């Protein structure tokens, strides 16, 4: 009997060790495989594309069906597009997050309906947003603005930079709203109650207390929006982006080039695939660096805000 107990105990110990190894090893193996795949992909892209990135490539306009020259109009258009998209999505997303966090109960039917709509919006294919942009922004809103302004030629009722930015803003809204709302709900309720007990109004509490402590969450939403919006092509196919345009957009009603679409054109519509291949890799490198750069700037800003607030609390 004694030996049986000892054997059973040893078996349990061995099983526990095996389960512990599996529980620890499986996530580590999955993480290693994912990191290896990402690093391998990035390494291949940078190895084949970095040699094509030079001053001429970064500063000149494309020529000869995009096979010669550079991509400066596409870089400018991408940065301009993302900047306007952020101006649209951050205020609307922040306002929606404030409403859901501060003015509705978490289990109310209205809040649950809004969250269901946000989650549904996040799952809609991106091409559908492009079709929505054509129907609502160009055909309805843009042509309505031209009608009110008595424009004889379309100014707003045509594909334009502002409609592409507005379409991307709607695409990235769920990310911003969820990030802002979760950050605001993480702020202790005691802080709100203390502010109200000292005589502050609800809006003063939100403006002076909740929003400053939610800046990191707002910036997190901006980082995620930048990462998604900078590389999206399908939503802007019909609402403003063009094949090749040497001129830079100077007004919100102008059309523009964009790095993601430029890469799509080089890969699918180039008359000489072999000649376009180096341009594809070089354009991909620039797009990755630009996206990482904008995200890094927002991340660094968030870090500085957290650090300054940590020192303030100390």
Could you give the percent of the chain with pLDDT greater than 70? 90
Q: Are 112 and 122 in contact (CB under 8 A)?
A: no
Average pLDDT of span 23-28? 68
Q: How many CA atoms lie within 13 A of 147 on its CB side?
A: 7
Q: What does the CA dihedral 95, 97, 101, 103 come to, rounded to 10 degrees?
A: 30
Residue found by looking up tokens 């947003």 in the block? 129
The per-residue pLDDT for 112 is: 87
CA distance 121 to 257: 27
Q: Please give the average per-residue pLDDT across 71-96, as a whole number.
A: 91
Average pLDDT of the residues in 58-77: 87
**pLDDT for position 314:** 42
User: In the structure, what pLDDT confidence band is assigned to residue 140 with cuts at 50, 70 and 90?
Assistant: very high
Which tens digits make up the pLDDT trace of 41-50? 888 888 888 8
pLDDT recorded at residue 204: 87
pLDDT of residue 3: 57
pLDDT digits (tens, 9 = 90+) for 158-204: 999 999 999 999 999 998 998 888 888 888 888 888 888 888 888 88
Class of domain 55-311: mainly alpha
**Rounded to an integer, what distance in angstroms lies between the CA atom of residue 165 and that of residue 170?**
9
The residue extents of the domains of the chain are 1-51, 55-311
For 176, list phi and psi in degrees, rounded to 5. -65, -45
Helix (H, G, I), strand (E, B) or coil at 69: strand
Mean pLDDT value of segment 94-107: 86
* pLDDT given at position 24: 65
Q: Give the 3-state secondary structure of residue 63.
A: strand
- Say if residues 170 and 132 touch (Cβ distance below 8 Å): yes
Q: pLDDT grade, residue 133 (50/70/90)? A: very high
Q: What is the pLDDT of residues 221-249, one digit of tens each?
A: 888 888 888 888 888 988 989 888 888 88
36: tokens are 């290896």
């Amino acid at each position: 009997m004694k030996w049986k107990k000892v054997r059973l105990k040893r078996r349990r110990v061995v099983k526990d060790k095996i389960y512990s190894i599996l529980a620890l090893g499986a996530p580590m193996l999955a993480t290693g495989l994912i990191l290896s795949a990402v690093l391998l992909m990035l390494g291949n892209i940078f190895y084949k594309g970095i040699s094509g990135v030079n001053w001429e490539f970064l500063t000149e306009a494309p020529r000869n069906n995009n096979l010669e020259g550079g991509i400066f109009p596409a870089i400018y258009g991408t940065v301009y597009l993302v900047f306007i998209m952020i101006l649209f999505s951050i205020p609307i997303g922040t306002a929606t997050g404030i409403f859901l966090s501060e003015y509705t109960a978490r289990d109310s039917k209205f809040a649950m309906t809004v969250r269901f709509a946000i989650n549904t919006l996040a799952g809609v294919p991106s091409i559908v947003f492009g079709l929505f942009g054509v129907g609502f922004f160009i055909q309805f809103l843009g042509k309505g603005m031209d009608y009110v302004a008595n424009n004889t030629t379309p100014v707003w009722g045509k594909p334009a930079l502002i409609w592409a930015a507005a379409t991307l803003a709607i695409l990235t809204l769920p990310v911003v709203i969820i990030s802002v709302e979760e950050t605001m709900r993480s702020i202790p309720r005691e802080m709100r109650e203390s502010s109200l007990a000292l005589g502050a109004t609800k809006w003063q509490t939100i403006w002076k207390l909740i929003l400053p402590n939610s800046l990191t969450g707002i910036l997190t939403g901006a980082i995620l929006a930048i990462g998604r919006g900078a590389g999206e092509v399908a939503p802007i196919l019909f609402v403003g982006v063009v094949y090749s345009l040497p001129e830079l957009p100077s007004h919100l009603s102008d059309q523009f080039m964009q790095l993601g679409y430029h890469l799509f054109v080089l890969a699918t519509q180039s008359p000489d695939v072999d000649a376009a291949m180096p341009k594809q890799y070089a354009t991909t490198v620039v797009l990755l660096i630009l996206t990482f750069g904008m995200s890094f700037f927002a991340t660094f800003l968030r870090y500085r805000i957290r650090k300054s607030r940590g020192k303030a609390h100390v």
